[in-house]
Amino acid sequence: MYTPLRLFITTALVAATCFFTLPASAQESGHDDHNKVAESVNKAEHEIEHNLEKSEEKFNIGQMIMHHIADSHEWEFSHGVAIPLPVILYSADRGIEVFSSSNFHNDHHEYNGYHLVHGDSEKIVPVDEARVIYDFSITKNVASMMLSAIILVLIFTSIGKAYQNNKGKAPKGFQSAMEIVILFIRDDVVKPNVGPNYEKYLPYLLTLFFFILVNNILGLLPGAANVTGNIAVTMTLAVITFIIVHINANKHYYLHLVKPTGVPAPLLLIMIPVEIVGVFMKPFSLMVRLFANMTAGHIILLSLFGLIFIFQSMFIAPVISLFALFLNFIEIMVAFIQAFIFTLLSSMYIGSAIEDNHHADHGH
């Protein structure tokens, strides 16, 4: 999105320098014009370069933020320090292709007939535009997600073992620390919202909470991926919740969609579309809430750090660092809150779909 602006500024600068320097060189062409022309051209070039550098610096703030938020085919910890990740492509004609993303490190970002495009986010496009490819690469987000999955499995299987080994004993150490969270989710989030049949949904909701929490917190680490701030991830989670709700929903839930009780017949024309839109709004709001909260947090933090590079001042850096520290604490809080909210709302959607509605029927 910045390329047109960049082109415009560059051409404008070139035009301006030519416009101002040409008459001057024309006036003094009588003396040693060859020298003068060369000098002024050099000067103009230097100025253009300087302006380009300056403008590039400014563009880099926006690009830097987008680059950090978006997914990538390699895991970059700092400038130049990056782990290449496997690229997995599927196309009808070539089948599955697997190669390292470091192969794109050349002048044209091109390898084996594929081109790595750096826009707001990276994209692999075939050089031959007629081909259709599907990109199943292990990107930075996928790698980070797998890392958090491994962390989750290690932590909770060890806690599960602790429960089997310490049967009849008081919990201790990390087990009791996690127990507080698990009990909180079970007793204060799932049980009151899902209702008496909560145990069937408890494993999913607990996993949901800890998966979001771990990814949120990992995302706050410097150089980490922004997994839960990616709309594909939140969409998948929301869709899974949506599917669970609608597989388990009872008759009352579906009846309520097409025939809300106590609504006059003419109003049904409005009510039924509203109810049906509501069904899809719920997962949509789940998806957008988590995505927007996590992305916004990252953008704020990155903008603050970007300010340091814009001002390039010794004195602004400590102030901004303090402020960023403060915001980091808020982001840690947000990481917990968003995991909690996602789980809470999922529980509520499940609970509202499976509850026995007979009291509501008489209530109208």
The torsion angles phi and psi of 83, rounded to 5 degrees, stand at -95, 125
CB-nearer residue toward another protein: 71 or 331? 71
Nearer to another protein, 12 or 132 (CB): 132
Q: How many CA atoms lie within 13 A of 155 on its CB side?
A: 18
Nearest to 299 by CA among 119, 140, 68: 68
**CB–CB of 138/101 below 8 Å?**
no
Quote the least distance from Cβ 265 to another protein, whole Å.
Answer: 40
Closest Cα partner for 194 from 17, 351, 85, 356?
A: 351
Pick the closer one to another protein by CB: 17 or 295: 295
CB of 326 to another protein, least distance (A): 26
Nearer to another protein, 93 or 120 (CB): 120
Least gap, CB of 359 to another protein (angstroms) = 28
Name the minimum Å distance from CB 118 to another protein.
Answer: 11
Q: Min. distance of Cβ 132 from another protein in angstroms?
A: 12
Compute the distance between CA of residue 79 and CA of residue 337 in angstroms, rounded to an integer.
32
The residue whose two tokens read 């091109």 is: 110
What is the C-alpha to C-alpha distance for residues 290 and 356, in angstroms, rounded to an integer? 30
Measured in degrees and rounded to the nearest 5, phi and psi for residue 25 equal: -70, -30
Binding-site ranges for another protein (CB under 8 A) = 66, 69-71, 88, 119-121, 123, 134-139, 141-142, 145-146, 149, 152-153, 156-157, 159-161, 163-164, 167-168, 179, 182-183, 186, 199, 202-204, 206-207, 210-211, 230-233, 235-237, 240, 295
**Token digits of residue 179:** 């127990």
Nearer to another protein, 10 or 121 (CB): 121
If one counts every other C-beta atom within 10 angstroms of the C-beta of residue 179, the result is 14
Closer by beta carbon to another protein, 44 or else 124: 124
What tokens were used for 277?
Answer: 């839109």
Least distance CB 251 / another protein (angstroms): 27
- Of 237, 202, 213, give the one whose Cα is nearest residue 155: 213
CB of 50 to another protein, least distance (A): 31
Q: Rounded distance, CA 250 to CA 331, Å?
A: 38
